Structure 1
């Protein structure tokens, strides 16, 4: 891996709102940001469809046995972390018909305005799809998401997202993932203070990241509080 100059250890979290495990990892990382000290975090929208194609990977939903296990894992993991997640019945139809590039470009527009606004929108996209079984692919869906997070200039944001600039940024973000040998989401690149890069795949690697960065181990609040009560 190449070395890059860094002042603080940094976590680059590459995600796509189509990915339920990106949603789980997002909530875990949001939680750990409050507990880990001296760590910089960047949330980077990319297009999972292109990553899968470039890497030669296939979506789990396209492999029947893997799809069944994925849904089981999703339910187990969501329950463990107390994350509201219910696979939408129309998911297979939707992923055949739609792409998430529009949603990801909405996030890029919001990121320029306010990082926290972008993160709220990402969470709302995930909640719509993976908690309420609502679409996240078309302009009318974007209107609902932007209104839900309190954006006033909704139409302006949607129109701006269609500018070539944001398609280019999304392509560049996606290519960086491909260059790091990403094959799914979330893809996590940890840059330690010595400039070394350490790639991780999936929402279940945060215990390894915590160990690498010498930070507290991630646990749900019920277990964390339970540990504290025993001390």
Structure 2
């Protein structure tokens, strides 16, 4: 049986963008599969008892965080551009449609390229449709799923299951009985998988 890495992320998370750049390659090298699970970071934080403000609201913290993000992007040799908004709920929900059609990795990779690589506005439905098409999905069907009660219910259920599992932020990677939180733990994950 193939080992699975459960990857919990939210498209508002730039550190999840960075982790996604490395995770598929690490998984393949270890003979693992990545299972993509979208969450809502603010909801997960509150469920875990973290009522503090978002990083974007703490000016000294955001200054240091931006510098760290730029360092990581430079190390990985990728672009990093803050998106025009942080309204990513439809994109998160769309992952569940991509999962059903076996295209989650392709969708998530291209979505992150658009949102954090190019800095697009996630509220732009044309970008969401283009991402679906680029991932080999039916764009109209994906948009209909995202807007449907079924899609919204599936997204609520996925978020609830993540919270019950103890997910409190993103990115979080679960494999076996181990939990790795943050892009800066990706090397620990790789080491664990190769032992």
Question: In structure 2, do the counterparts of structure 1 residues 143 and 102 end up closer, same or farther at CA, with 3 Å as the change threshold?
Answer: same
**TM-score, length basis structure 2:** 0.86
In the comparison of the two structures, how many residue pairs are matched? 193
Cα contact 2:130–2:139 (8 A) shared by 1: no
In 1: Cα distance, 2:136 partner to 2:160 partner? 32
In 1: Cα distance, 2:140 partner to 2:16 partner? 27
Q: Which residue of 1 aligns with 2:38?
A: 45
Q: Which residue of 1 aligns with 2:191?
A: 211
In 1: Cα distance, 2:127 partner to 2:46 partner? 26
Which one has the largest radius of gyration? 1
SS of the residue 2:8 aligns to: strand
1:178-197 Cα shifts (integer Å, max 9, x gaps): 22332211011121xxxxx2
Q: Runs of 4 or more off by more than 3 Å in structure 1?
A: 147-151
Give, in angstroms, the shift of residue 113 of structure 1.
1.3
Question: In structure 2, do the counterparts of structure 1 residues 210 and 155 end up closer, same or farther at CA, with 3 Å as the change threshold?
Answer: closer
Question: In structure 2, do the counterparts of structure 1 residues 160 and 87 end up closer, same or farther at CA, with 3 Å as the change threshold?
Answer: closer
In 1: Cα distance, 2:106 partner to 2:193 partner? 26
In 1: Cα distance, 2:167 partner to 2:186 partner? 17
Which residues of structure 2 form unaligned runs of 5+?
A: none
Which residues of structure 1 form unaligned runs of 5+?
A: 1-6, 192-196, 216-231
* Pair 1:187-2:172 in alignment: yes
RMSD: 2.1
Cα contact 1:52–1:59 (8 A) shared by 2: no
Q: Which residue of 1 aligns with 2:94?
A: 106
Structure richer in helix, relative to its length: 2
